[in-house]
Amino acid sequence: MPSKKRAPPKRKDKKDRIRYAAPGADKVIREQTPCERQLRGMLEAMNERLPDQIVWKVADKIHDMNLKEKTIRKILEATVQRFRLHTIDPTESAGIIAAQSIGEPGTQMTMRTFHYAGVAEINVTLGLPRLIEIVDARRVPSTPMMEIHFPREVAASVEEVQRVVSEIELTKLLDIADIETDITNMQIIVHPDKQKLRAKNITMDDMEKALSKKSRVKNEVERVGEDKFVIKSGELSYKRLQQLLELTKNLKIKGIEGIQRAILRKEPEGYVVYTEGSNLARVLQIKNIDHSRVMTNNILEINDVLGIEAARGAIIREAHRTLSEQGLLVDIRHIMLVADMMTSDGDVKAIGRHGISGRKSSVLARAAFEITTNHLLRAGIIGEEDHLGGVAENIIVGQPVTLGTGAVNLVYWPKKERDKAK
Amino acid sequence: MAEKAQPESETRFSVMSHQLVPTHILLDQKEEQDVLARYRTTKDALPKIRRTDPCVQSLEAKAGEEIRRGRIIKIFRKSETAGLYFTYRVVVD
C-alpha cells in the first residue's frame, strides 16, 4: 500500500476499474474502483469489516479529495464505530419491530385506494389492497400486469414493437370479425373485418389456420370467397349451434393466454409495452424483447418461472413500491425481513393463518393467533409438546420472554468449583 | 394458471440472465464445510430452495450432474442496504 495516496481517477474512467465478480459467476456484478480497493485493503489491515454499500459511499465521498492515509484511517475508524452503533443487538425482536414498522404506516393508507396508475390507462391495484395481496401470496393478483422492455435496436422502431404487441395481445375471433348464425342452414358465418385484421397484423391465411387448427371446433371450416368463413354445425340441433357459436366467438386467433390487453408507451429510453394480464412463461419465449427485463406483478408466477430468489426480490420490490407510492417511508430492511420469512422454505408462503403464523412450532403461539380451539384440541389429541421458546407462549404461561435480557441466562460458577472442575 | 416453462423450449432464454435473478453458485463438499463452520450452523438452519427451482435446474444443466438434496447453493445478492453479499440456501425436495 502506498504511504501517500494518489488522487484516484474519476469514477467514469473505465480503464482503471477492477472487475468485481462473484467467483465462479458468469456475470460481472460490479466493477471496483481503485479507491474502493484501497479502503478494503485498509479495513482488512485494521481487522474490521464493513458492508460493500458503506465502502462505496465512503469511496464516493473521498476519492477525489487527495487525502493522507492517516486521515483515511480516521474516517474508516469513525465509520466502523457508527456502523456498530447501528447494527441490531443480538436477541432484539427484529420481527416485531418490522411488523410494527409496516403496520403503523399501513393504517394511514386508505382502504379504498383503487385508482388508475399513471401507466397508460391500465388499472392497477394500489395501496392497502395491493399490500395485502403481496403478503397473502395470492396465486393471481387482482390486476395482473406485465412490463416488457426491448433491446435498444428494437425499441426505436415502432413497427417492430407493434409486431410484438400484436403477438402478445390475446385476440379472439370476436375481436376481429363479425359472427352471424345462419339458422336455416345450421351454420355460422364469419366476416372478418379487414381493417382490424391489418391493425392486428393477421392475414386471412393465419385465420384459416387458427380456425381449422383448433381441435375444439371439430366442425368443417370452409373458406368462401375472399372474405368469409363458413363453419358447418353438422348436427341438426339448435343447442349445438349455440354452443358452437360461443366456442367460435372466444376462439384464440393470436396472442398469449391470459393477456387481455397490451399497450404501447413511449418512454425516454424507447418503447415499453404494458399489459393487462400476465403470463411470464410464455412472454419469455417471444423473440425480439429484452428477456432479462421482463417484469410482472404476479409474484407466484415469478417463483414458478424464475425461482425463489427472484420471488424474494419481487416481494421486496413490489411491497416497497406500493408503500412509497402512498408516500409512506418504511425502511426497506423491514420489508426484506418479511420477504425472507416468506421465502425461507423454498416456496412463497403467505403471512397469516395458512402461512407463517399457522406453521409455528408452538401450539400455544398458534392458539393465541387464530382458531384457538382447533389448535388446542388437535394438540391434546396427538399429544403435542411446547418448549416455550417463543414470545407468545411465555406470555401465556407468565414467564419472561426470550428476548433482550430475557434471552440470557446467568450462571454463577464460584471460583472454587471452577478450579475443582479443572 | 401459470404454466411452467418447458425446460426444452427455454434454450432461447436462460433464467439466470434475468434481472431479478441473482447469481447462484453450487458449492462443493469442502466449501460447504467451510460455510457451516464459519456460521457455526447446520444445514437444516439454512433457508431452503426447491430442487425443482428453475435456478437449481439451470445449475444442474450447467454442472451436468444431479443436484441432490442437502447441497448448498451460494447466492450472490444485490442489496439496497448492504451492497453485495452472500447468502446460502440448502437444496430440499
pLDDT of residue A117: 56
**Residue B5 parent element (H or E):** none
pLDDT of residue A419: 83
For residues A210 and A260, give the distance between their C-alpha atoms in angstroms, rounded to a whole number: 18
Does residue A31 contact residue A19 with C-beta atoms inside 8 Å? yes
Q: Please state the rounded mean pLDDT for residues A96-125.
A: 73
For residues A158 and A148, give the distance between their C-alpha atoms in angstroms, rounded to a whole number: 14
Q: Of A186-190, A315-319, A365-369, which gets the smallest average pLDDT?
A: A186-190
Go through the domains of chain B in sequence order and give each one's CATH number.
20-92 (3.90.940.20)
Does residue A216 contact residue A247 with C-beta atoms inside 8 Å? yes
Indicate if the pLDDT at residue A185 is higher than 80.
no
For residues A185 and A173, give the distance between their C-alpha atoms in angstroms, rounded to a whole number: 21
Q: Please state the rounded mean pLDDT for residues A402-408.
A: 83
Residue in chain A lying closest to B57 (CA): A307
Q: What percent of chain A has pLDDT over 90?
A: 10
| pLDDT tens column, A136-151 | 888 888 888 888 888 8
Min Cα–Cα distance to chain B from A284, Å:
7
Q: Which of B25, B75, B83 is facing A52, going by the closest CB pair?
A: B83
For residues B58 and A305, give the distance between their C-alpha atoms in angstroms, rounded to a whole number: 12
Q: What percent of chain A has pLDDT over 70?
A: 85
pLDDT of residue A6: 44
Give the Cβ contact number of residue A14 at 10 Å. 8
Higher pLDDT, A223 or A1: A223
Higher pLDDT, A188 or A331: A331
pLDDT of residue A299: 92
Does residue A144 contact residue A133 with C-beta atoms inside 8 Å? no
Question: Chain B within 8 Å of A99 (Cβ-Cβ)?
Answer: no
Q: Do A53 and B82 touch (CB under 8 A)?
A: yes
A410: buried, middle or exposed (CB in 10 Å: 19+, 13-18, 0-12)?
exposed
For residues A11 and A316, give the distance between their C-alpha atoms in angstroms, rounded to a whole number: 29
Q: Please state the rounded mean pLDDT for residues A357-375.
A: 84
Go through the domains of chain A in sequence order and give each one's CATH number.
14-86 (no CATH), 171-254 (3.30.1360), 360-407 (1.10.150.390)
For residues A138 and A202, give the distance between their C-alpha atoms in angstroms, rounded to a whole number: 36
Residue in chain B lying closest to A54 (CA): B82
Question: Chain B within 8 Å of A90 (Cβ-Cβ)?
Answer: no
Q: Do B83 and A53 touch (CB under 8 A)?
A: yes
Higher pLDDT, A1 or A295: A295
| pLDDT tens column, A198-252 | 777 777 777 777 776 655 555 667 677 667 777 776 667 777 778 777 777 777 7
| pLDDT tens column, A389-401 | 888 888 989 988 8
**Residue B76 parent element (H or E):** strand B72-79
Min Cα–Cα distance to chain B from A64, Å:
22
For residues B24 and A25, give the distance between their C-alpha atoms in angstroms, rounded to a whole number: 8
- Candidates A39, A40, A289, A306, partner chain B, best to mutate (most B CBs within 10 A): A306
Banded pLDDT at A3 (limits 50, 70, 90): very low
Question: Chain B within 8 Å of A314 (Cβ-Cβ)?
Answer: yes
Higher pLDDT, A226 or A410: A410
In A176-233 the beta strands, taken as DSSP E runs, fall at: 177-182, 187-192, 221-224, 228-232
Higher pLDDT, A273 or A153: A273
Q: Please state the rounded mean pLDDT for residues A121-129.
A: 77
Q: What does the mean pLDDT of chain A come to? A: 79
For residues A349 and A125, give the distance between their C-alpha atoms in angstroms, rounded to a whole number: 21
Does residue A25 contact residue B76 with C-beta atoms inside 8 Å? yes
Q: Please state the rounded mean pLDDT for residues B60-82.
A: 85
For residues B87 and A312, give the distance between their C-alpha atoms in angstroms, rounded to a whole number: 13
Indicate if the pLDDT at residue A305 is higher than 80.
yes
Residue in chain B lying closest to A331 (CA): B81
Min Cα–Cα distance to chain A from B49, Å:
4
Buried b (16+ CB within 10 A) or exposed e, B8-44: eebeebbbbebebbbbbbbbeeeebeebbeeeeeebe
Q: Do B18 and A292 touch (CB under 8 A)?
A: yes
Min Cα–Cα distance to chain A from B1, Å:
8
Q: Do A307 and B85 touch (CB under 8 A)?
A: no
Q: Which of B21, B76, B92 is facing A346, going by the closest CB pair?
A: B92
Indicate if the pLDDT at residue B26 is higher than 60.
yes
For residues B62 and B24, give the distance between their C-alpha atoms in angstroms, rounded to a whole number: 11
Banded pLDDT at B13 (limits 50, 70, 90): low
Q: Do A51 and B25 touch (CB under 8 A)?
A: no
Min Cα–Cα distance to chain B from A356, Å:
14
For residues A375 and A370, give the distance between their C-alpha atoms in angstroms, rounded to a whole number: 9
pLDDT of residue A9: 43
Residue A404 cell numbers, joined: 433482550
Indicate if the pLDDT at residue B1 is higher than 50.
no
Q: Which of B25, B49, B92 is facing A24, going by the closest CB pair?
A: B25
For residues B15 and A308, give the distance between their C-alpha atoms in angstroms, rounded to a whole number: 12
Indicate if the pLDDT at residue A308 is higher than 80.
yes
Report CA A335 to chain centroid distance, whole Å: 13
Residues 6+ apart with CB under 8 A from A242: none
pLDDT of residue A200: 73
Residue A146 cell numbers, joined: 406485465
| Window A:249-288, CB contacts with B under 8 Å | 258, 279-282, 284-285, 287
Q: Model pTM greater than 0.90?
A: no
Parallel, antiparallel, or unpaired: how do β-strands B48-50 and B83-92 relate?
parallel
Q: Do A52 and B82 touch (CB under 8 A)?
A: yes
Report CA A139 to chain centroid distance, whole Å: 12
Partners of A298 on chain B (C-beta within 8 Å) are 2
For residues A31 and A39, give the distance between their C-alpha atoms in angstroms, rounded to a whole number: 15
Question: Chain B within 8 Å of A292 (Cβ-Cβ)?
Answer: yes
Q: Under an 8 Å CB criterion, which residues of B touch A?
A: 1-5, 9-10, 12-13, 15-25, 47-50, 53-56, 75-85, 89, 92
Indicate if the pLDDT at residue A115 is higher than 60.
no
Cell 504511504 belongs to which residue?
Answer: A3
CA nearest A55: which of A71, A73, A40, A67? A40
| pLDDT tens column, A11-57 | 444 444 445 555 555 555 566 777 888 888 888 888 888 888 888 88
pLDDT of residue A370: 80
Q: Which of B50, B76, B79 is facing A347, going by the closest CB pair?
A: B50
